[in-house]
Structure 1
Amino acid sequence: MKKLHNKFVIIPLLLACMIFSCKDLTELNENPNGVAPETVNPNLVLPTILTEAGKLYVNLGYQDIAGVVQHTQKDAWSSGHNDYDWGGDQSWNAYYDVLRNNDLLYNRALQTNFEFHQGVSLVMKSFMFGLITDLWGDAPYTNALKGEAGSTADILPSFDSQDKIYAGIIADLEKANTLLSKSKADYEGIVDNVDVIYGGNPAKWRKMANSLMLRYYMRISGKQPDVAKAGIEKIVANAAQYPIFASNADDATMGFAGNSEADSWPANTVTDASGSNYRRIKMCATLVERMQTLKDPRLGIWANKVEVPLVIDPKQPPKTDKIVDGKRILSPDKVGAEPVDTDPEYVGMPPSFSALPSSYNLNPTPGQTSFNPHVSFLNDIYKAAKGPLLRARLISAAEVNFILAEAALKGWAAGAAKDRYEAGVKASMETWTVGDKYAAYIATPGVAFDNTLKQVIEQKWIAGWTAATEAWFDFRRTGLPALKAGPAAKREVLPVRFYYMQDELRINKANAQDAVSKLEVTNYSQADNGNSAWSKPWLLQGTGKPW
């Protein structure tokens, strides 16, 4: 009986094996609830690419890079934001995750002959690889995104030089310009609502491609001026073939749904009920004081007035410290040698001024959970999870006009520098709802055009609010505005790149070390052994910028 029992168990098993051996094992391993990469509709992939790219960009420009370019400072958990203490391990994994999805989008768009999606994919590829090389320097590019191929060269890709990456970006944008040149009715597969930037509008994506080309031509202008000049002049001279942003309606921006932390404006007080992330971001004195000097109406859109102004009154008796009519009245002896700002409206925090920034301006509650009533918080609009002004701003008409103003100042055929500059200022003011104050502002001393690069870059720096990454890249390239590191900063000057992450240095050691060896070690690189935020990549080598 035991033998018969074994026979009846074994025979069905053998039959099952014979049946299933005729089938592809990958077929058996399919997820019935998933979508196979080889059959996925491009419209299912596109929203993830756009939203994740937008979040990455706004998190740079609203968080630590806003600290670098002194738009904001933090009064708690502040060392990365204020002092550039980045720990030497800044990961690009999220950027390559977007690029892997984007590569899938492009391949599926090729297979389905969705030319609109091909064009959009090339624009986003350029945007993301542009960010990677701008932030880190040399990076995997030609052999990136090929890990599934399985060869060592694909799994451990070599790093392309910056000049090759920028050339590839510009070439892809040229291709996108052609792919996106038809009317919307001539494309297949467009689903408007999955395009969270332009709602399926090919003409606007085409303008974005060419506007990004202007960005990257200007980026390489210090190293390859002839290439940059020819590229910018070609675009400007051929408006029909190379349309660019003409107004704020063309801006590449992404709103937020505001339903959860994952799809909300960062550091809001809706998904973060404690409000700590919002509360610790303060206006930086560098930006505040310059905007006050220029009587810039955008300041009131971005910042709250101080809740309790300080008043130092020498007529008060010693040890006076009291609240009167909403003001804190102090006798001079209560202040001593402490730095104070008694501006009755807006007070910014000095950049990297102390290891305990929450103590600034005689804050009565210094510490990680402080609430400083004597420094300007961001405007209450930044407490919200979504809103008309809470957008990831990838590139704008204001930026395009400032690029062309700079090109004109170089003597390139890019229009009149004054006209371009004023158009950039006006576009930014309209974006931030104060366009009605443009006429008065543009006539203000310091704003009225003076034909200098310093002024153009300063206004571009101001206009870069919440998109401060471009301001950092401009500072590295031009040394403008002349930002100075504070006394508590990790180095005496501002950083110029991100660190290659330790995983890359360990796992892809030979290629990563080769990239590190091509960085220019400076007097500020110190113990970082080449892979320093103060080592210069190709883009800055030999330029004498920014320091």
Structure 2
Amino acid sequence: MKNYIILLSALLSLSACSKLVEGLNENPNSPTNASYQYILTGAEVGNIVLQTGETARKAGIFCGYYTGIDRQHLGFSQYGVTTSDFNTEWNNVYVDVVANAIAAKNAAETEGISGVTLGVTQVLRAMALGSATSLWGDIPFDEAGQPDLDNPAFEGQMTVYSKLQTLLDDAIANLSSGAGRPTSGSEIYLDGDPQAWIEVAYTLKARYYMHVKNYSEAYNAAQSGISSPDNNLMAPHGTAAENANLNYTFFA
């Protein structure tokens, strides 16, 4: 009987030790998956960084809106740039926005969410990739934002513009379903308002038609575009350092 008690005690000790080290190799600060709502917020913040950060400054210099007078910006004003000078901007497009938007879409589908949420992620992708092709011409599109592809294929600018229109059409169809609106607070621009996002999508369609000089289609799309200030795609900036407009804080 005494031997059985000793054996039982040993087994209980082993069980306790197992629980003690359970999850020891799991880093809570490096999750492998997350709910779509958190990834969606990340994609939208990434888009704010893309549209108001270093990309905006360099574009302003190259079009003559700003003049660089010191350090690297003096070089930019003289077109003294190398490929590495654009690493941050491409990372903003393809990691911060596109990859996160695709991840949010996939997570939403896994959670049984479709419709409006998917449409929002598609508009975000279209806005980021449209900005990229308008700035740099040929860019990756079909293979963009896929972690398993280290060297995604580049596609011609006119092909990209055509595919942007298709992507936005798909987004409008999803947004028009009215179902699957993002969890309140997770979509920080328009709180998931499907009609507002539809208008944003049409406005982007008009913009990209203008880029390729298809003025009649641009006019038609604009008729369904942003109709009021309330439906404008505005980043929720504030006055604190952590939520101020990046372009403003650079010059302030």
Q: Same fold (TM over 0.5)?
A: yes
Cα distance, 1:233 vs structure 2:
5.4
Partner in structure 2 of residue 129 of structure 1: 129
Matched-pair contact (CA < 8 Å) for 1:109–1:115: no
Deviation of 1:79 (Å): 1.3
Out of 232, 239, 245, the residue aligned to residue 251 of structure 1 is: 232
Flag the 1:113–1:265 CA change in 2: closer, same or farther, 3 A: closer
1:31 aligns with 2:27: yes
Paired position in structure 1 for 2:170: 175
For residues 501-536 of structure 1, give each alpha carbon's deviation from its aligned partner in whole angstroms, at most 9, with x where no partner exists. xxxxxxxxxxxxxxxxxxxxxxxxxxxxxxxxxxxx
Q: Secondary structure at the match of 1:113?
A: coil
Task: Confirm or deny that 1:48 pairs with 2:47.
Answer: no
1:166 is displaced (CA, Å) by 1.2
Report the Cα offset of residue 28 of structure 1. Answer: 8.0
In the alignment, structure 2 segments of 5+ residues that lack a partner are: 1-10
| 1:34 Cα offset (Å) | 5.1
Give, in angstroms, the shift of residue 203 of structure 1.
Answer: 0.9
Q: Helix, strand or coil: the match of 1:121?
A: helix
Per the alignment, residue 217 of structure 2 pairs with: 231
CA distance in 1, matches of 2:141, 2:56: 27
Deviation at 1:211, TM superposition (A): 0.5
Q: What is the 5 A alignment of 1:107-506? A: 107-111=106-110, 112-148=112-148, 154-183=149-178, 187-188=179-180, 190-221=182-213, 228-229=214-215, 231-232=217-218, 234-235=220-221, 243-260=224-241, 262-266=242-246, 277-278=250-251, 383=252
Q: Which whole-Å deviations, capped at 9, do the CAs of 1:282-324 have from their partners, x for residues lacking one?
A: xxxxxxxxxxxxxxxxxxxxxxxxxxxxxxxxxxxxxxxxxxx
> Shift of the alpha carbon at 1:207?
0.4
Looking at CA atoms only, which structure, 1 or 2, has the larger radius of gyration? 1
Deviation digits for residues 43-69 of structure 1, max 9, x if unmatched?
111111111211221125752222233
Q: 1:259 to 1:158 in 2, by over 3 A?
A: same
Partners in 2 of 1:205 and 1:120 — Cα distance? 7
- Alpha carbons 1:73, 1:82 under 8 Å: kept: yes
| Alignment match, 1:86 | 81
Q: Aligned partners of 1:210, 1:234: CA distance in 2, in Å?
A: 9
Q: Which TM-score applies when normalising by structure 2?
A: 0.77
SS at match of 2:171: helix
Is 1:58 matched up with 2:52? yes
The code of the aligned residue for 1:160 comes to E
Paired residues in the alignment total 228
Identity of aligned residues (%): 21
Aligned-partner Cα distance in 2 for 1:268–1:136: 24
TM-score by length of 1: 0.38
The one-letter code of the counterpart of 1:198 is L
- What letter matches 1:252 in structure 2? L
Q: Deviations over 1:375-408 (max 9, x none)?
A: xxxxxxxx3xxxxxxxxxxxxxxxxxxxxxxxxx
Q: SS at the partner of 1:117?
A: helix
Counterparts of 1:122 and 1:54, CA distance in 2: 16
* Alpha-carbon distance change, 267 to 57 in structure 1, aligned in 2, over 3 angstroms: closer
* Alpha-carbon distance in 1 for matches of 2:65, 2:215: 31
CA distance in 1 between partners of 2:230 and 2:75 (Å): 35
- Cα displacement (A) at 1:162: 1.5
Aligned partners of 1:56 and 1:70: how far apart in 2? 20
Which whole-Å CA distance do the structure 1 matches of 2:58 and 2:95 have between them? Answer: 21
Q: Which structure has greater helix proportion?
A: 2
Task: Give RMSD over aligned pairs.
Answer: 2.9
**CA shift at 1:31, angstroms?**
3.5
Task: Tell me: CA distance 1:129–1:268, structure 2 relative to 1, closer, same or farther (3 Å).
Answer: closer
Paired residue secondary structure (1:156)? coil
Q: Which residue of 1 aligns with 2:4?
A: none
1:248 aligned partner, one-letter code: P
Q: Distance in 2 between matches of 1:130 and 1:80?
A: 26
